[in-house]
């Protein structure tokens, strides 16, 4: 018979992964042959764009098709993370990733995507109901498709423990950063042991700080999906998977207060698990921009999507650690430390990720393209 201790240990061991084989609609269906049999280039591009990375897998996109080749992107304002992302910076990055995948998929069909950012003006300080972007397609004769298209369905956020024996080589990382050459800011990396050690320590302490910050934990809890049934029902958020997770949740385990309390056994087990992940980083990459305008954030999100796709092409695993970059009061000292360690005092660090080699991870859940289309 399972007792509480067993149940909580299971939670700690459970990773974020999409479920397969549940009774509901397959939450990973969107990854299999997206766009197959679709003639409308906008729908083809949309089927790929929904595979973009987004903070907490919130999938904050809302789409309207206008004339035959046009698409307007909005933010689904209910899908923001107001505590940990109080200025909507990370949500905007996610929307940038969506636009980049939309553009890359269009290029595969020989369509040029003309993207106008914030056509009705850039919102400040937070996003609002105005459009994020308008995208118009026009056919291009003999256009070269973007080679990153081939990696859209293989791209993952890989949260496994990385192999300490295999360090990504500088040439590959340089080639990955070359994929974001036109981008406003800079993509940088380190595999230098002293610097990597400092960054492992920083990302871990920031993660731990977040675990001790009640508002942040409550917000994350709302995006946790326990077991196959919940993952299949929501098809978003962060899946906590394991053989018994669903049934245990139904029995009343994994309650919010237990997971919010940093001293509970569940939290302590999870903390050990996450620390091992941080300590297995063999390298870090980051994206820094000269300013933090909404347009710059969208471009940083586009750049991050390209970097993640390029890493996929080279077999390199990637996993963002955003806690130290977040703009809430409890994180302020570690935010300042991140800027110092990354030598980015006059810049805005938009993404910080660990890189390395790891076992493949499962695809995360996605809602259907139809669920994000506004009539
Ligand atoms: C702006 C941004 C910030 C993110 N920060 C984190 C993070 O701090 N920790 C983490 O595990 N994943 C982070 N992610 C990854 C998302 O959780 C991930 O993209 C989402 O769960 C979907 O999974 P996928 O990338 O495998 O499709 C971030 C993604 C984005 C776009």
Same domain, 150 and 160: no
Q: Find the CATH number of the domain harbouring 257.
A: 3.40.109.10
In a domain, 196, yes or no: yes
The CATH number of the domain holding residue 102 is: 3.40.109
Number of domains into which the chain is organized: 2
Do 338 and 350 share a domain, yes or no? Answer: yes
User: Looking at the domain assignment, is residue 342 inside a domain?
Assistant: yes
Are 139 and 211 in a shared domain?
no
Structural domain contains residue 99: yes
**Domain membership flag for residue 10:** no
Pocket of ligand 1 (CB under 6 A): 53-57, 90, 93-94, 97, 156-157, 159, 238, 319-323, 364
CB under 8 Å to 133, separation ≥6 — which residues?
A: 72, 73, 95, 99, 115, 116, 117, 118, 119, 298
Q: Are strands 224-226 and 238-241 parallel, antiparallel or unpaired?
A: parallel
Q: Is residue 133 a part of any domain in this protein? A: yes
What is the tens place of the pLDDT at every residue in 176-218? 999 998 888 889 999 999 999 999 999 999 999 999 999 999 9
Nearest Cα to Cα of residue 12 among 210, 240, 197, 201: 240
pLDDT tens digit sequence for 139-172: 998 889 999 999 999 999 999 999 999 999 999 9
Query: 302 C-alpha vs ligand 1 centroid, how far in Å?
Result: 14
- Give the nearest ligand 1 atom to 51 CA: 27
In this predicted structure, what is the pLDDT of residue 23? Answer: 59
Summarised one tens digit per residue, pLDDT across range 221-244 is: 999 999 999 999 999 999 998 888
Q: How far is the CA of 2 from the centre of ligand 1 (A)?
A: 32
284 is in which domain, residue-wise?
156-224+244-356
The first and second tokens of residue 221, run together, are 């809890």
Please work out, in degrees rounded to the nearest 5, the angle formed at the alpha carbon of residue 114 by the alpha carbons of 110 and 117.
Answer: 145
Domain assignment present for residue 328? The answer is yes
Note whether residue 238 is domain-resident: no
Q: Same domain, yes or no, for 176 and 316?
A: yes
Same domain for 165 and 86, yes or no, is no
User: Is residue 205 located within the same domain as residue 351?
Assistant: yes
Helix (H), strand (E) at residue 48: helix 41-49
The predicted model scores a pTM of 0.95
């Amino acid at each position: 018979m399972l007792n509480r201790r067993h149940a909580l240990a299971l939670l700690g061991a459970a990773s974020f992964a999409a479920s397969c084989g549940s009774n509901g609609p397959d939450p990973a269906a969107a990854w299999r042959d997206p766009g197959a049999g679709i003639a409308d280039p906008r729908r083809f591009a949309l089927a790929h764009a929904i595979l973009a990375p987004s903070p907490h897998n919130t999938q904050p996109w809302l789409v309207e098709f206008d004339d035959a080749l046009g698409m307007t992107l909005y933010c689904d304002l209910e899908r923001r993370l107001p505590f940990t992302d109080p200025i909507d910076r990370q949500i905007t990055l996610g929307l940038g990733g969506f636009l980049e995948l939309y553009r890359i998929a269009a290029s595969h069909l020989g369509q040029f995507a003309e993207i106008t950012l914030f056509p009705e003006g850039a919102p400040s300080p937070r996003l609002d109901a105005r459009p994020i972007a308008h995208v118009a397609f026009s056919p291009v004769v003999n256009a070269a498709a973007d080679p990153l298209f081939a990696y859209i369905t293989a791209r993952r956020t890989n949260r496994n423990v990385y192999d300490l024996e295999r360090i990504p080589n500088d040439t590959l990382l340089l080639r990955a950063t070359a994929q974001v050459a036109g981008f406003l800011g800079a993509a940088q990396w380190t595999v230098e042991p002293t610097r990597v050690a400092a960054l492992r320590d920083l990302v871990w302490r920031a993660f731990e700080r977040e675990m001790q910050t009640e508002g942040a934990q409550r917000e994350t809890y709302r995006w946790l999906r326990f077991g196959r049934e919940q993952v299949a029902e929501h098809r978003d958020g962060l899946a906590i998977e394991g053989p018994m997770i669903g049934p245990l949740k139904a029995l009343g385990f994994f309650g919010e207060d237990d997971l919010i309390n940093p001293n509970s056994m569940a939290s302590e087990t999870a903390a050990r698990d996450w620390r091992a992940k941080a300590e297995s980083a063999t390298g870090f990459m980051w994206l820094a921009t000269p300013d933090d305008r909404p347009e710059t954030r969208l471009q940083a999100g586009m750049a991050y999507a390209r970097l993640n796709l390029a890493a996929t092409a080279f077999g390199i695993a990637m996993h963002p650690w955003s806690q130290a970059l977040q703009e809430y009061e409890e994180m302020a000292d570690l935010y300042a430390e991140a800027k110092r360690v990354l030598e980015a005092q006059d810049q805005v660090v938009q993404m910080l990720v660990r890189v390395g080699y790891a076992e493949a991870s499962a695809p995360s859940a996605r809602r259907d393209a139809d669920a994000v289309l506004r009539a």
